[in-house]
Structure 1
Amino acid sequence: MKYKTLTVALALLCFVSCKKEAAKTETETTTEPTEEVTMTMPDSATIAKAWQDYATPGEQHALMAKDNGSWTEDMTYWEHAGAEPSKMTMTAESKMIMGGKFQEMTHKGELYGMPFEGISTFGYNNAEEKYISTWIDNMSTGITVLKGTYDAPTKTYKMIGEVIDPITKKPKTSRETITIIDDNTQKLEMFDVGFDGKEFKNMEIIMKRK
């Protein structure tokens, strides 16, 4: 009983000491002066030029505009790593919108015996200096957003983002590459993350201009 009482007393002493130390630390933390960040407003000419640069399509947008027109899409997809591939054929219509600032592409086909339609937008954010794409379709309620760059030597867009897995309800990485083979042929590859946490290619689309 004596040793039990001593143990309890030591535990209480430790608890009180820790509480005092925590209170002391909290007090010291809250009393530290905070540094205020101030920003000087630019002059009106600088502001006007910044917005003009932000709103003006550039060479990146001109590159996207080369994809205007009608395309056929031969798609191969894999439900998981090592799965047998499935195939389908779609058509796509591509055009520049919003005064040449964005590319809109509508995709139509048949998936699992049901009509399929998807809409993608593609743009280049002059301020962020990155490409950005969005994707929606009639078989989900999510919006996929990817950002990336263009590698001129390989003529490849490299895009990456994060999506919510509808099964686990957790975020996972989504990645795609778009390689310009020639003026009338492109290859799109998409990469997913399996339940084992490893990346695998889940889709490949060969696009040919009609």
Structure 2
Amino acid sequence: MNKFAIALTAVGLLAVTAGLRAQELPEFPKPQKEHEWLKQLAGEWDTTAEMKMEGQPAMTCKGSESARMLGGFWLVSEGKANPMGMQMESLMTLGYDAKSKKYVGTWADSMNEHMWKYEGTLDPTGKILTLETEGPNFFAGGKMTKFKDILEIKDKNHKALSSQIQMEDGTWVTFMTGTYTRKK
């Protein structure tokens, strides 16, 4: 390549770069009040859960949750527990989709291969978030069915969670309840 071609290429690159700098960046969305609501879930928590299976005595397990905000939009929560004497780890994400006007998220854990995809709403009091999802029915051989996780804010240091499954007759059965206490 001769010196003229190199100089012409350099001038062209400078012109393109200057033009790109002159353009304004697109405006990125800003967190909304629904995203702000998620911040109260962040922190370090001690957990206690009770699981009820039909015809079986209730089982209790203790665990922990570590939750943080990812930017201003997403809550990322990691949990650890020992249900039925087995080590379990979980990862939950929660955010808010301004277009659909719904809370959205995912749940995955080390005890099964299904990724649960949440969609839900906050009640008028601003204290109860109901997340709906679909997953394998462990009472019916893994047939896909509807579930609800209901998260209730008790105060800034306490929250509760209940998980429900829709039975074949359409009724909802609570199979797990849990309490969360913020670590000091």
- Could you say which TM-score interval applies, normalised by the shorter chain? 0.7 to 0.9
Q: Which has the higher strand share?
A: 2
Corresponding residue for residue 65 of structure 1: 39
Task: Read off the aligned partner of 2:103 and give its amino acid letter.
Answer: Y
Matches within 5 A, 1:94-173: 94-97=67-70, 99-153=71-125, 155-165=127-137, 168-173=141-146
Distance 1:196 1:152 in 2: 29
Task: Read off the aligned partner of 2:121 and give its amino acid letter.
Answer: T
For the pair 1:201 / 2:163, whether they are aligned, the reply is no
Distance 1:154 1:67 in 2: 13
- Cα shift at 1:68: 1.7
> Secondary structure of the residue that 1:61 maps to in structure 2?
helix
Uncovered stretches (5+) of structure 2, i.e. residues with no partner: 1-25
Uncovered stretches (5+) of structure 1, i.e. residues with no partner: 1-47
Matches within 5 A, 1:88-99: 88-97=61-70, 99=71
Distance 2:121 2:171 in 1: 23
- Cα shift at 1:162: 1.5
Task: Read off the aligned partner of 2:147 and give its amino acid letter.
Answer: S
CA RMSD of aligned residues (A): 1.9
Distance 1:193 1:152 in 2: 24
> Secondary structure of the residue that 2:47 maps to in structure 1?
strand
Instruction: Number of aligned residue pairs: give it.
Output: 157
Distance 1:185 1:60 in 2: 19
- Cα shift at 1:174: 0.4
Are the counterparts in 1 of residues 60 and 83 from structure 2 also a CA contact under 8 Å? Answer: no
Q: Which has the higher helix share?
A: 1
- Cα shift at 1:109: 1.7
- Cα shift at 1:111: 2.1
1:23-64 Cα distance to aligned partner (Å, 9 max, x none) = xxxxxxxxxxxxxxxxxxxxxxxxx67xx4xx3211111111
For the pair 1:85 / 2:64, whether they are aligned, the reply is no
Task: Read off the aligned partner of 1:181 and give its amino acid letter.
Answer: K
- Cα shift at 1:196: 6.0
Distance 1:132 1:84 in 2: 33
Are the counterparts in 1 of residues 47 and 178 from structure 2 also a CA contact under 8 Å? Answer: yes
Task: Read off the aligned partner of 2:85 and give its amino acid letter.
Answer: G
> Secondary structure of the residue that 2:99 maps to in structure 1?
coil
TM-score (norm 2): 0.78
Corresponding residue for residue 17 of structure 1: none
Distance 1:194 1:89 in 2: 27
